[in-house]
Amino acid sequence: MRFTLSLLLLALPLAAWAQTTPHFPLTEAAAVRLGLARTDLADLELGVVRAAEADVLDAGQTPNPVLSYNRERLGGSPGTLEQSWMLSQTFDLSGKRKLRRESAERRVEVASAANSQRRAELAAEIRRHFHEILFRQESVRITETWARRFIQVEGMVGKLARAGEATGYDQRRLARERKASEARLAGERADLARALARLSTATGATNGTPTGPVVVGELLPPPLPAIETTLSRLEQRPDLQALSRRAEAAELEGRAAKQGVMPDLTVGIGPKWVDNGFSRDNGVALSLSIPLPVFDRQQAGRQRAAAEAMQARAEYRLAHARAEGELRGLGRQAEILRATAADYRARAVAASPDLLRIAEAAYRGGESSLLELLDAYRGALEVEATALELEKRARDARIEYDLLTGSTE
């Protein structure tokens, strides 16, 4: 069943408001777009990526050259004075800096995947709020319909009372039921107001009522795509992509640590002066230095990188298997709930109008009591409420299913 739903505007005429509102009505897709287009979210994602990109710059940065000055007096006064300037530069002969830069680039992809996962979770949250509003709107509608029926009953009871066929008990019982319906309606409206406020906070959309936007959509979800089609795209889930990139980054760091066994070479060159008090000579000084990998052969770095890669690969396999199992189970649940909701509405809800007409005719004809008529009204309300609950559960299952696939729609 398709619901074309619009909220009660508490203080503003709907037609006048619609002429001044650019986003009327708010659909599910529009709500998700609004929520994902918020500046705060964009700033958060940009900050996460830029922080990871800074690590790329750091990993690939060539060390700064070193300028040093040396002054040495030999043999006492006046003795011999030696002075030199030296410009030194360290060179990576093994290529480990390039590997570490590539590893940092994989970390940027991890950060981007985390942003995508955050967006998928936010989209699911917005969709839950959106369909909570649809559910609450319809709950308000059926409760209002139930409350309006008391006007009809009051008319019938009034006529019967004037004819001496209705008792004072009937009138008092009717008044109590009316109060109960008014209280239930107030509660449903309060729940609707809360749902509106949540969606407004999540999307930034405040057009509509004083508490939130006007929404339109369908509570019952469409059929699921074929499970094999969904499973074939499972590797595109952001969290699985992040684990895969983490493993690649760790493997590159391990290769860099292995290459670190070949140490860096530092070359220095500069002018040198020697003054012995009688003559002054000058020339060029050259220095070469290289650390000897006797004790530190990057054993810890290689072991740490191998362990991280092993951990990420294992987490990926476990997460993939768990996601596949959850998708299969949740897919079956979503389809069963959807079919049950559609069948219940087609059978049980569709029969309510005829049952109510029979109950009203029986009461007018004196064949049943007011209690039996009120019971028929309550039964019709409960049938509608049960249908809505089933459709809401089917929609919640579909939203969770989409989140497991990494979808934002």
Question: What's the pLDDT at 161?
Answer: 64
Name the range with the highest mean pLDDT among 21-30, 171-180, 183-192. Answer: 183-192
User: For tokens 């008014």, what's the residue?
Assistant: 182
Answer yes or no: is pLDDT of 76 > 80: no
What is the percent of the chain where pLDDT is above 70?
A: 86
- Judge whether 267 and 347 are in contact, CB under 8 Å: no
Question: What's the pLDDT at 182?
Answer: 84
Cβ contacts of 273-279, under 8 Å, gap ≥ 24: 273/82, 273/83, 273/84, 274/80, 274/81, 274/82, 275/80, 275/81, 275/82, 275/83, 276/78, 276/79, 276/80, 276/81, 277/78, 277/79, 277/80
Question: What's the pLDDT at 105?
Answer: 94
Region 243-250: mean pLDDT is 92
Task: Give the start-end residues of each E strand in 41-79.
Answer: 66-74
Answer yes or no: is pLDDT of 10 > 70: no
Residues 249-264 pLDDT 10s: 999 988 888 887 788 8
Answer yes or no: is pLDDT of 24 > 80: no
Question: What's the pLDDT at 390?
Answer: 95
Euclidean distance between CA atoms 371 and 355, whole angstroms: 15
**The pTM is what?**
0.79
Answer yes or no: is pLDDT of 19 > 70: no
Question: What's the pLDDT at 80?
Answer: 81
Tell me the pLDDT of the chain averaged across its residues: 83
Question: What's the pLDDT at 139?
Answer: 92
Answer yes or no: is pLDDT of 74 > 80: no
